[in-house]
Structure 1
Amino acid sequence: MFVLRGSFKSYVIPSRRLHKSFRLYAQELGVPIRGDCYVDQLSAYERCVVEMLRAVNTGKRLIIMRDMSSFLSERELANIQRLMRRYTQRGVSFLYVCSHEKELLDLCDRVAVLENGKIQKLAEPYGGELAFPQRRSRQPKPLTREPDWEHLPALAFSNVYTASLHDLSFSVYPGECAALLADDDAAEDIVSLALGIMAPKAGTLAIRGSTVPRIPYRSVAVIGEKPVQHMLFPDLSYLDNLCFTADRRMPGIWLCGRIRKSVIKEYYAMTGESIFAQDIRTLSIQELYTLAYCRISFQHPAAVLCVKPFDAIDLSLRQHVVGLMDMLRDRNIAVIVLSSGISGAASIAERIFASPKK
């Protein structure tokens, strides 16, 4: 907070004086952080507080906050927003970037809707409240079927232990959307378990009611934080990308033209003319997201794990992703939103689970 600022001219760090200065900052803000704590020992919330204090202490007049709810709990987010309001009264400005409309409206004086790199709409204060304009983007279609609560869970963890997981238990049913809140280390182990890369140290895993020592290959799919960059192959055609993970389900798909024509017929209503694209680099971001989710749909796993699906995307694309998740649920695939914050998942999840902390 103090040494890295431009006004620090001393060759010797006066630790006692700096600790006293930091203690005064922390007491004033009601933040229980010790000044001699190492950064790698701080929680995500505490790091945010220290970054904000450092920015203010070094004289910054504008601070950019991005996707805070993706890694902070509701209580931590409320505390950060309290600090933001406190500093705005002292003349510091904040640019708050996120894709959750309610979070923005509850906090900000003005809200701008950014879509495809351009500000499309602006919500101004009106009568003490923000009048948010109606977006022209299409609403997701309602589900055509309810989750299959009567049958066995599509995926179940029971008292699972790993290096970062402590007694994790949850179950999701076919067609259900559930949220699973976990920090980064726990999320990494959950993804490894889902992909069958590792087995738990203790506890049991079950797929469609059958207990397994390790999740079978491609029984559970994972859609990462940046599916366009990490899931798609730019040198393959749209159809080849779509069929890429279906070879175990349909071994003859690469040799049988009749099967591929059937795939086009099945997915044309959802993909449109883009299914015939030979170069996917010419497609829009929404068309590429559709391709990534349709590939998982065609693979048809028991469940799909969506890792922070709403981080760093605009409101229009967020709405499109919600519709793609509903498409998976309509096909009786369980959808699990894996996130470290509740804001992104609360509006779409039917149930919310939290990974226990050690």
Structure 2
Amino acid sequence: MKNEILRLEKVTVIRDEVTLLDNFNLHIFQGEIMGLVCINANGKEPLIQLISQNLPIHYGRVYFNEVLVNNYRHSPMTMNKVAVIEQKSRLIEDLSVADNVFVLRRGFRKYVISPRVLNEQFRQFAQEIDADIDGRDLVAHLSPYQKCVVELLRAVIMGAKLVVIRDVSNCIGAADLIRFHELLRYYCGKGFSFLYICNHHEEAFKICTRMSLMKDGKILRVFDRNQFQNDNIVPYYVGEFADLAAPETDVGRKDSILAFQNVCTEKLRDMTFTVARGECTVLFDMDNTVLPDIMRIMNGRLYPDSGTVFLEGAVFTQEAAQHALEGTIAFIGEDPIRTMLFKEMSYLDNLCFLLDQKNNGVRLNRRIVRSIAREYEPVIGPEIYETNIMNLKIQSLYDLIYYRIQLFHPKIVFCVQPFAGADMYLRRHLIGLINRLKQKGITVIFLSVNIADSLMVADKLIRLEKGRFNSEYLRSEFNLFRSEGTTLEELFQ
């Protein structure tokens, strides 16, 4: 008989008259990886908080390790033996790995600390899983994958009964994700249990033993492993993507707008690839190592040690990069709502922000701004006159970011991990916004370590591995793989 690690039984959580968890049911057994695919973000954060700590609930019961720890009558506020590993590391960057693993864990009561002893203890745990990490290393010097491994080892050492893995595919490359999945399977065999939270069923299919589908804080259905088929998911959300085909483009006949030719930096090794004008290209970094260097080259902060970058047929120098930022190139960062919007400015001021920075750009005045408002109001709606953008929903904030780029109308826009952290409804919305950029003739380049949903809008995928160009796939080949029942992710494994 399987031991039950966690059971949420008809749990309802209401805060500020908003239902966050609605009659929520979830069972996790010892030694399994339970997947949780979130169609939207509603309820995700409250669920993780409730699993970690026995917070007040309005109805239902919570059992942890087969003991009733929380119910609607009494919530003791105690902590459960749960660890959370997510995109944003919870490690202290300025401390060593061993200090993070041993000294900062709950229950550590030693007053005299021997670094030598701690490093030796960590070495034994790291050696067990063949992890090339030294306990003396500063966390700040670790790669995103190594940080995830350290957090996993800390969870094991502290005796966590359940480890929550949340959206880690947004921060570690595809090759490292495969290795991390192997570690999860290893510790499953040791009796540890995992709740693997992600936004795409194809990712859950690869690693989970069972999978739950959540929407609006409620479990819609639980799938056993023998039910892991796309056809079983279609009724819940996949079918909604059927009308989001990317605009047809004849990539083969377009001229090159961007080319890297034998480019070398600290991370790039004879990097060579070409992007055609007007297409959407995914630069898929299998190792999550080269994308920062590509970004720094394109924004003029890094010049290659050797090789040449061509933009519209001309050599792309650092001086040319400065001119390009004034009209030819634009960037949408990984967390654009936090990094690209000005909370103190109105919607219109945010929308027009880049215009006066453009080469030969217009000098903004009230007449120009009113003209822009009249042009975009039919598309944006009355929100265009909002003075406090923090009153807007997340989709409206993304509209603001993408319409700002559309109004600026660069020749190329680089999108860093455009779908990272987005639930399925927001991903659908983003695909529509990206297609609008393409329809305006703007070349779109994704810088990605995870290609989930990127192929819905891409014309070409370029695979980068170990600092080099590896392979290239056109849109016609995406459909070929699907027809053969194979995804590009599976092909790369």
The TM-score by the shorter chain falls in which range? 0.7 to 0.9
Cα displacement (A) at 1:204: 2.1
Q: Distance in 2 between matches of 1:145 and 1:261?
A: 34
Establish whether residue 173 from structure 1 lines up as the match of residue 276 from structure 2: yes
Counterpart of 1:135, as a letter, is Y
Q: 1:111 aligns with which of 198, 212, 225?
A: 212
Question: Does 2:434 match 1:328?
Answer: no
Deviation at 1:103, TM superposition (A): 0.5
> 1:153: how far off?
1.9
Task: Decide which moves more: 232-241 or 216-225.
Answer: 232-241
Deviation (angstroms), 1:354: 1.4
How far apart, CA to CA, are the structure 2 residues paired with 1:265 and 1:54? 56
For CA contacts below 8 A with separation 6 or more, give which structure has more relative contact order. Answer: 1
Residues 1:208 and 2:307 are matched in the alignment = no
**Does the alignment pair 1:189 with 2:293?**
yes
**TM-score normalized by the length of structure 1:** 0.82
* More displaced stretch, 179-188 vs 8-17: 8-17
1:38 aligned residue: 137
Structure 1: runs of 5 or more not aligned: none
Q: 1:84 aligns with which of 165, 184, 189?
A: 184
Determine the C-alpha separation between the residues in 2 that align with 1:42 and 1:237.
Answer: 40
2:223 match: 125
Gaps of 5+ in 2: 1-97, 469-493
The DSSP-based 3-state class of the residue aligned with 1:254 is coil
Summarize deviations over 1:24-67 as a string: whole Å, max 9, x none.
7634x4x2536566355654434423321221121011212222
Match of 1:295 in 2: 404
3-state SS, counterpart of residue 330 of structure 2:
strand
Task: Let me know the Cα RMSD of the aligned residues.
Answer: 3.4
Q: Is the 8 A contact 2:102 2:118 kept in 1?
A: no
* Pair 1:36–1:239, CA change in 2 (3 A): closer
1:200, distance to aligned residue in structure 2 (A): 3.1
Superposition deviation, residue 289 in structure 1: 0.2
Residue 321 of structure 1 and its aligned partner are, at CA, apart by 1.5
Judge conservation of contact 1:113–1:315 (CA < 8 Å) in 2.
no
Distance 2:346 2:354 in 1: 14
Amino acid across the alignment from 1:299: F
Q: How does 1:243-262 map to 2 (within 5 A)?
A: 243-247=352-356, 248=358, 251-252=361-362, 254-255=364-365, 257=367, 259-260=368-369, 262=371
Q: Report if aligned partners of 1:268, 1:275 keep a CA contact under 8 Å in 2.
A: yes
TM-score, reference length from structure 2: 0.62
Q: Flag the 1:128–1:223 CA change in 2: closer, same or farther, 3 A.
A: same
Q: Which moved more, 1:59-68 or 1:338-347?
A: 338-347
The question of whether the paired residues in 2 share the 8 Å contact of 1:180 and 1:355 is answered with no
- State the identity as a percent: 32
Q: Aligned AA for 1:217?
A: L
Tell me the secondary structure at the aligned position of residue 400 of structure 2.
helix
> Within the alignment, does 1:158 sit opposite 2:261 as a pair?
yes
Tell whether the 8 Å contact from 1:224 to 1:306 is kept in structure 2 after alignment: yes
AA at the equivalent of 2:275: V
Deviation at residue 271 of structure 1 after TM alignment: 1.8
Alignment counterpart, residue 240 of structure 1, candidates 321, 327, 349: 349
1:50 corresponds to which residue?
A: 150
Q: State the alpha-carbon separation in 2 of the partners of residues 7 and 234 from structure 1.
A: 42
- In the alignment, the residues of structure 1 paired with residue 375 and residue 118 of structure 2 have an alpha-carbon distance, to the nearest angstrom, of 70
Q: Cα distance, 1:93 vs. partner?
A: 2.7
Partners of 2:211 and 2:224 within 8 A in 1? no
Q: Which shows bigger deviation, 83-92 or 135-144?
A: 135-144
